[in-house]
Structure 1
Amino acid sequence: MPSSPTVSAASRARLADIIFARSFGYGKITLASGKESNFYFDMKPTMLDPEGASLIAHHLFAAIADAGADYVGGLEMGAVPITGGVCQLSFEMGKPIRGFFVRKQAKGHGAKKLVEGLTKTESLSGKKIIIVEDVTTSGESAYKAIESCREAGADVILVVSLVDRQDGAEEFFLSKNVPFKSLYQASEFLSRS
C-alpha cells in the first residue's frame, strides 16, 4: 500500500474549483457565530460530490497523516462526512486513523452520549486527536468539540478546517494554544468573483 496520498497543486486547484462551483455563494446570511455576512460556504454539496469527497479526503489526510493522531473527528454535522472519508483513506494508505463525532447535544435516549463512534471498550482518554471542520468562522464551534474531547481525556493536537472564513478563528485558536490550519481561506474564493 502507498504510504501517503498524492496531492498536488493541480488537485488543490481542482478542489477549489469544486468548492467555488458547488459550495460558495453570495447572499445575506447569519452565521453560526451570530454574525451576518454577504457570502457563504455550504460545504455539503462539495463533501457529498464523489470527486469533491475524494479530494477532500486526500488533502486532509495529507495534512494530518504525520501528526501522530489516534482519532479524527469533530462536531456534527459538518465533520461527519469528512471524518468518514479520512478514515477510509487512512486505512487504504496503511496508516489507519479511527473516527468519531461530537453531538451538539447528547441524545435523549439510548446511551445519551456526546461523543459517538466508539465501541463500549474504546475511549478517547489518553488519545491524540485531530478536530476537523468544514468551515471555520470564529472557532467557537470547533472549540465545543475540543472541550467535549478534553472532558473525555483526549489530547487535542490540531484543528484542521477545509475553509477558514478569516473571521478570527486563527487568533482564537492561538489564544487557546491549539494548533490550527486550513486547506483554503475565504479570500481565495472572494478574489475569484
Structure 2
Amino acid sequence: MNDLRTRLARLLVEKSYREGDFTLTSGRKSDYYFDCKQTALHAEGSWLIGSLFNDLLGDVPVVGVGGMTLGADPLISATTVISHERGRPLAGFIVRKQPKGHGTDQYVEGLANFAPGDPVAMLEDVVTTGGSLLKACERVEAAGLRIVAVCTVLDREEGGRQAIKAAGYDLISIFTRKELVDAARS
C-alpha cells in the first residue's frame, strides 16, 4: 500500500495540488487548492485511487460506495471497478445536489443495486469543513442506506474530521496535506 500511496502522492502533487491564493467552496481563503478530479480522471490516478480506497475498506463490511456528484463520481467508478477485479464487487451510487425534478425525483441514483439498510461507504475527494459530505450522508440515510465508513482522498485538517465525528462517523483519509506533501517528496 505504501508504494501505491507514494505513486498517488506524486501524481496528485503534479496534477491536482496548486499553491497560491484561492477561495474554497466553504468560502474560506486558502494558500493551496486541491482539484482531485484532475488525478481521478487520469488513467493511473483512477486506478491508484480505486485500489487505495479498496485497501482502506478491506475489512469494512460494505456492499457499496457512493458520494456527492461531481467530485465523487470518478472515485466511485474507480472503486467499484477495482472491487470487481479483486473479487469483492461493490455497487455504486451517486448523490445529486438537487433532485432531478422529473421521473423518480430522487437525490440518490443507483438504489436498484441496494436493499434498505445495506451498509455503504461514502467517498469524497477533499474534506475541508465536511459540510457537503455531511449533506450527502443525510440524503443517503434518508434513502434507506446505512453509512458505516466515510473516506476521502485528502483531509485538509481544517475542522472537517471533527464535524464528521460529531455527526457520528469516523473519517478515513488516504492523505492529510502534510502526508501528501511528505509522500510526494519520498
> The TM-score by the shorter chain falls in which range?
over 0.9
Structure (1/2) with the larger helix percentage: 2
Q: List alignment gaps of at least 5 residues for structure 1.
A: 1-7
Deviation of the 1:160 alpha carbon: 0.3
Look up the match of 1:165. Answer: 156
Q: 1:99 aligns with which of 92, 96, 104?
A: 92
Look up the match of 1:146. Answer: 137
Deviation of the 1:113 alpha carbon: 1.6
Contact kept, 8 Å, 1:73 with 1:79, in 2: the verdict is yes
Look up the match of 2:172. Answer: 181
Contact kept, 8 Å, 1:106 with 1:112, in 2: the verdict is yes
Task: For 1:159 and 1:127, locate their aligned partners in 2 and report how far apart those are by CA, in whole Å.
Answer: 15
Look up the match of 1:113. Answer: 106
Look up the match of 2:122. Answer: 131
Contact kept, 8 Å, 2:13 with 2:181, in 1: the verdict is no
Farther-moved stretch of structure 1 (88-97 vs 109-118): 109-118
| Identical columns (%) | 35
Deviation of the 1:123 alpha carbon: 4.6
Q: 1:53 aligns with which of 41, 46, 53?
A: 46
Q: 1:33 aligns with which of 26, 42, 48?
A: 26
Task: For 1:76 and 1:124, locate their aligned partners in 2 and report how far apart those are by CA, in whole Å.
Answer: 22
Contact kept, 8 Å, 1:61 with 1:90, in 2: the verdict is yes
What letter is aligned with 2:122?
I
Contact kept, 8 Å, 1:65 with 1:95, in 2: the verdict is no
Scaled by the length of structure 2, the TM-score of the pair is 0.93
- Give a deviation string over 1:76-105, Cα, whole Å, max 9, x none: 111111101111111111111100010011
Q: Give the number of aligned pairs.
A: 184
Q: List alignment gaps of at least 5 residues for structure 2.
A: none
What letter is aligned with 1:127?
D
Question: SS where residue 89 of structure 2 aligns?
Answer: coil
- Give a deviation string over 1:151-171, Cα, whole Å, max 9, x none: 112211111000011111111
Look up the match of 2:68. Answer: 75
Deviation of the 1:140 alpha carbon: 0.9
Farther-moved stretch of structure 1 (15-24 vs 32-41): 32-41
Task: For 1:189 and 1:70, locate their aligned partners in 2 and report how far apart those are by CA, in whole Å.
Answer: 29
